[in-house]
Structure 1
């Protein structure tokens, strides 16, 4: 089959989230009733990736969350950010961002734990994050009352452009070296 690369490209384009190689294999094998090797798919993925490295294209294929997704190239982020600012209805509130950060760094975490850290009720923020599919229910705690445990979702990984939670900035990255209390000794 000569145009398999075009089918792979179409699958990546049509996917709302990053699409894994296994998903591509499943779709192609189901659609055409023939076996494709993972190496064959990876070769096509590399060819498609190389194609979109060309400066004529404003988009590229990026590997995210162990899958592939079309994204706008960094050269165009300023213009895209204007569009996103215009559509700020989907923007997360400060409370939702704080809640999401706590869940991302402390996961799996319960709502009472999040509320303990924030010092306020988080019902609304957690509900909004669940609706936006940035967090997901990952189980129940063994604590009294068996509260629900929350963690980040695959959409969170796609949205923030990371493959693994370990790629989140560490607390030391936020530390400011300019402010200190007390005397410094040499």
Structure 2
């Protein structure tokens, strides 16, 4: 098959065209390779990009691979980047997000019980696509269950929830306001 494009061209095209992290399984399907071989090809491709200093690189995040600008170059591109960043999350929103991330799926009542206060920032977290409704609890009233999204993984630079730092013996105490 002499008319087949090189694997590196297919990898680059797939990462560019997808506009989201592409899993090793999806790349394996595109490349016609076993998943582990596709991973090795992506790693080799990533190394070649890094060495060539082309202004972008491959990042493993959210269970897949995507193109990113190297952090050292990002500050030089600020005038081109839009829209302006959202204001940082409030400490209350970060507390609610931490509870959801570690305890998911979790109801609003459970979040409020853990925090000792309102979980009204769930709405803000949903608007920012950091959390979503993942189902309903099998309890009276069938309250909504919340969990994190792929956007949460992307924004916090996590490959999976397993990358969250472990909780110590104090549980959530160090994550919550005193």
Displacement, 1:150? Answer: 0.9
C-alpha distance 74-175 of structure 1, shift in aligned 2 (>3 A): farther
Superposed CA RMSD: 3.3
Whose helix fraction is larger, Structure 1's or Structure 2's? Answer: 1
Q: Does 1:20 align with 2:23?
A: yes
* Residues 20-169 of structure 1 aligned to structure 2 (within 5 Å): 20-26=23-29, 28=30, 36-38=32-34, 41-54=38-51, 56-76=53-73, 87-89=84-86, 91-123=88-120, 125-169=121-165
**Corresponding residue SS for 1:52:** helix
**Aligned mates of 1:55, 1:102 — CA distance in 2:** 42
Give 5+ residue unaligned stretches, structure 1.
30-35, 177-186
Contact 1:17 1:158 in 2 (8 A): no
Displacement, 1:167? Answer: 1.7
**Aligned mates of 1:49, 1:111 — CA distance in 2:** 42
> What CA deviation, in whole Å up to 9, does each residue of 1:9-66 have, x standing for no partner?
122134343111233355x48xxxxxx1236634532332111221623432122232
Contact 1:107 1:152 in 2 (8 A): yes
**Corresponding residue SS for 1:171:** coil
Give 5+ residue unaligned stretches, structure 2.
none
Q: TM-score, normalised by structure 2?
A: 0.74
Cross-structure match for 2:10: 7
**Aligned mates of 1:159, 1:61 — CA distance in 2:** 16
Question: Which runs of structure 1 show a deviation greater than 4 angstroms over 4 or more consecutive aligned residues?
Answer: 76-84
C-alpha distance 160-14 of structure 1, shift in aligned 2 (>3 A): farther
> What CA deviation, in whole Å up to 9, does each residue of 1:102-152 have, x standing for no partner?
1111211101111222233323x2122222221122221122211111111
The structure with more radius of gyration: 1
Deviates more, 1:135-144 or 1:16-25: 16-25
Contact 1:140 1:148 in 2 (8 A): yes
